[in-house]
């Protein structure tokens, strides 16, 4: 017989390891006993791709639920019944020229704030609170991490406090793993670092408590825990490999080549997906319900898909078809990351549904095909919080902040105004 289990149960070790658990049938039993039903919380995720999207190959030519996926959006074909392509949304403030920042910085600085950076008299640049941090203030206390902010560009963040101060983002997979599964003490973190150096697994630390738990579970819950632990070990291994590569000394540089940064440029695909794997784990064990992730920036190179120039270089295409095609190829590759992330969430069961069924994932860019374009790429994946996919819809010229208000409402946050919003976006 399946016993009831607290949703907040953690596997602990004597060395400071904390291992959260996915939603199990026993946890559902406890919830039903207390409330009569189990209702998974809504998770809010914002994924950003910097420097635009090649709109001619991104934007569908027709509207409605029966729209045809374009070349760039095609990787999302298995998820089309959960997809909304939202045209006609823009950040008016993000397009107000600011000589201190320029459009490229405004792309990320304003993406989740919708702020007029020069709107404060006597202040050259002042940001405002980002929507993820507003959500964290409202519901972040329900989880171990109020919000998780990830980036593949270690110098940037999408998140800002009420005072407009940047919230540092995480870029090191091994550091993120430690944050998720280690108590917040210097001693516990040192033991975790030592374990990485010895190539030991976090599962070694909690083996005894894992065995005790498994013996008390029903067959379905044992299978769920086994799958989760197997995935955890694989993500841990990949994070350690990525960290190892980032610390290796560089080989002699061949002529006419660019030296990569900390994470090898020729392994960017794996880097992004390890980061997304970390986010999947954090959502699965309910360590956070709010996250941001920058999966691309203007300095990205993609030699592994035949695009060795920087993405920013392709955006300055000078009407050359080969460079426009390369831009579209990178855009499709990045959409592939989104599909990878969503499909992993779909594979994880949470009660009678999948983890994806409790997520709202916004994917967007602060530019379009041109730097000053107001025709922006915005996608929403999700079927929770009263939101129903609408296919492709053109909103004409509504604030992107209206979508953010609707996402907050879906998570139970009764907000009516954010940045330049005029109300919740009608998407249900």
Q: Does residue 190 lie in a domain region?
A: no
Per-residue pLDDT at 238: 60
Q: Does residue 252 lie in a domain region?
A: no
| pTM, two decimal places | 0.78
CATH assignment at residue 289: 3.40.720
Per-residue pLDDT at 254: 39
Expressed as residue numbers, the domain containing 158 is 42-173+262-410
Better-scored residue on pLDDT, 127 or 179:
127
381 within 8 A of 363, measured Cβ to Cβ:
yes
Q: Does residue 251 lie in a domain region?
A: no
Which of 64-78, 163-177, 328-342 is the least confident region? 163-177
Over the stretch 350-378, which tens digit does the pLDDT of each residue have?
878 899 999 999 999 877 777 766 788 99
Q: Does residue 197 lie in a domain region?
A: no
In this prediction, residues 73-99 reach a mean pLDDT of: 90
In this prediction, residues 295-322 reach a mean pLDDT of: 89
80 pLDDT above the threshold of 80? yes
Over the stretch 92-132, which tens digit does the pLDDT of each residue have?
887 777 777 777 778 888 899 999 888 888 888 889 999 99
- Mean pLDDT (the chain, rounded): 81
Per-residue pLDDT at 154: 83
Q: What is the 3-state secondary structure (H, E, C) of the chain?
A: CCCCCCCCCEEECCCCEEEECCCCHHHHHHHHHHHCCCCCCCEEEEEEECCCCCHHHCCCCCCECCCCCCCCCHHHHHHHHHEEEEEEEECCHHHCCCCCCHHHHHHHHCCCCCCCCCCCCCCCCCCCCCHHHHHHHHHHHHCCCCCEEEECCCCCCCCECCCCCECCCECCHHHHHHHHHECCCHHHHHHHHHHHHCCCCHHHHCHHHHHHHHHCCCHHHHHHHHHHHHHHHHHHHHHHHHHHHHHCCCCCCCCCCCCCCCCCHHHHHHHHHHHHHHHHHHHHCCCCCEEEEEEECCCCEEHHHCEEEEHHHHHCCCCCHHHHHHHHHHHHHHHHHHHHHHHHHHHCEECCEEHHHHEEEEEECCCCCCCCCCCCCEEEECCCCCCCCCEEEEEEEEEHHHHHHHHHHHCCCCCCCCCCCCCCCCCC
The CA–CA distances, whole Å, from 422 to 84, 89, 400, 418 equal 20, 12, 10, 8
Q: Does residue 233 lie in a domain region?
A: no
Per-residue pLDDT at 379: 97
184 pLDDT above the threshold of 70? no
Q: Does residue 203 lie in a domain region?
A: no
Per-residue pLDDT at 32: 45
Per-residue pLDDT at 46: 98
Q: Does residue 194 lie in a domain region?
A: no
245 pLDDT above the threshold of 60? no
Per-residue pLDDT at 260: 32
């Amino acid at each position: 017989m399946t016993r009831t289990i607290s949703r907040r149960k953690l596997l602990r070790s004597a060395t400071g390891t904390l291992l959260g658990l996915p939603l199990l049938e026993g946890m559902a039993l406890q919830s039903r006993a207390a409330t009569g039903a189990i209702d998974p919380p809504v998770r809010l995720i914002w994924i950003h791709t910097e420097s635009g999207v090649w709109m001619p190959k991104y934007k569908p030519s027709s509207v409605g639920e029966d729209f045809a996926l374009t070349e760039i959006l095609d990787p999302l074909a298995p998820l089309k019944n959960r997809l909304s392509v939202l045209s006609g949304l823009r950040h008016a403030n993000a397009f107000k020229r600011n000589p201190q920042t320029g459009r490229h910085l405004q792309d990320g600085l304003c993406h989740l704030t919708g702020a007029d950076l020069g709107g404060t008299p006597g202040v050259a640049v002042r940001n405002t609170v980002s929507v993820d941090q507003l959500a964290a203030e409202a519901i972040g206390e329900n989880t171990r991490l109020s919000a998780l902010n990830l980036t593949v560009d270690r110098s940037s963040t999408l998140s800002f406090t009420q005072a407009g101060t940047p919230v540092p983002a995480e870029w090191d997979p091994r550091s993120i793993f430690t944050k998720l599964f280690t108590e917040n003490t210097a001693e516990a973190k040192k033991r975790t670092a030592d374990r990485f150096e010895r190539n030991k697994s976090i599962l070694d630390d909690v083996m005894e408590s894992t065995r005790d738990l498994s013996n008390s579970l029903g067959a379905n819950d044992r299978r769920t825990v086994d799958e989760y632990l197997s995935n955890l070990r694989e993500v841990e291994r990949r994070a350690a490999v990525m960290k190892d590569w980032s610390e290796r000394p560089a080989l002699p540089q061949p002529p006419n080549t660019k030296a990569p940064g900390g994470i090898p440029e020729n392994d960017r695909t794996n880097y992004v997906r390890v980061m997304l794997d970390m986010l999947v784990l954090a959502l699965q064990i309910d360590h956070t319900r709010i996250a941001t992730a920058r999966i691309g920036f203007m300095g990205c190179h993609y030699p592994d898909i035949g695009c060795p120039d920087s993405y920013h270089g392709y955006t300055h295409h000078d009407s050359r078809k080969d460079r426009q095609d390369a831009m579209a190829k990178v855009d499709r590759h990045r959409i592939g990351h989104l599909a990878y992330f969503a499909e992993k969430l779909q594979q994880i069961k949470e009660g009678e549904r999948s983890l994806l069924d409790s997520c709202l994932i916004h994917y967007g860019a602060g530019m379009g095909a041109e730097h000053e374009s107001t025709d922006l790429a915005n996608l929403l994946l999700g079927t929770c919080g009263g939101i129903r996919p609408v296919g492709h819809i053109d909103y004409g010229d509504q604030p992107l902040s209206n979508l953010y208000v609707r996402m907050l409402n879906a998570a139970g946050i009764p907000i009516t105004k954010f940045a330049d919003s005029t109300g919740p976006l009608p998407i249900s």
